[in-house]
């Protein structure tokens, strides 16, 4: 093999190695990028929405919580904040939106959402501000409703 071909071959191998290292590290970064927070066992959390959360794409940020639900579960989700106008979204395991609420029936800017679950799986409760405006402390609570005996 000529000196030119040997040099060219080594250069190509080095480029391929650097590319595979770059792709490998990028793939690892992407798999750890999105990790919804597990809703505590008592199904209630007080937390803070901040600029470190998920950008919504239209201004503002969102924070996701994951919860395991069973077929037949009937749930109510309360989202309360005195610092921003809340919106709660329930997202199914397939990524579809099952329900969303901006303002509850109490006349405040808090959110209240009722849902009946038909398919078991891991669901996302997404907390975000109305019109992408607002950050701050909030309380999220999910209650499983029991049928009347």
Residues 23, 55 share a domain: no
What per-residue confidence (pLDDT) applies to 57? 87
Number of domains in the chain: 2
Residues 123, 91 share a domain: yes
pLDDT tens for each residue of 78-120? 999 999 999 999 999 999 999 999 988 888 899 999 999 999 9
Residues 74, 12 share a domain: no
Residues 43, 29 share a domain: no
CATH number at residue 50: 2.60.120.380
pLDDT tens for each residue of 49-85? 999 999 998 889 999 999 999 999 999 999 999 999 9
Residues 18, 81 share a domain: no
Residues 115, 82 share a domain: yes
Residues 73, 125 share a domain: yes
Residues 83, 119 share a domain: yes
Contact 24, 118 (CB under 8 A): no
What per-residue confidence (pLDDT) applies to 105? 82
Rounded CA-CA distance 119/98 in Å is: 11
* pTM of the model as a whole: 0.76
Query: What is the span of the domain harbouring residue 15?
Result: 1-33
């Amino acid at each position: 093999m000529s000196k030119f071909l040997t040099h060219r071959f080594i250069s190509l191998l080095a480029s391929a190695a650097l590319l595979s290292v770059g792709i490998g590290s990028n793939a690892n970064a992407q798999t750890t990028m999105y990790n919804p927070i597990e809703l505590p066992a008592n199904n209630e959390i007080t937390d803070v929405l901040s600029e470190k959360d998920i950008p919504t794409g239209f201004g503002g940020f969102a924070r996701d919580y994951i919860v395991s639900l069973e077929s037949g579960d009937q749930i109510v989700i309360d989202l309360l904040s005195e610092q921003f106008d809340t919106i709660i979204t329930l997202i199914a395991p397939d990524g579809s939106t099952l329900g969303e609420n901006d303002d509850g029936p109490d006349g405040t800017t808090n959110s209240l959402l009722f849902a009946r679950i038909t398919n078991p799986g891991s669901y996302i409760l997404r907390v975000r501000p109305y019109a992408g405006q607002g950050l701050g402390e909030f309380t999220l609570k999910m209650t499983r409703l029991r049928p009347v005996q």
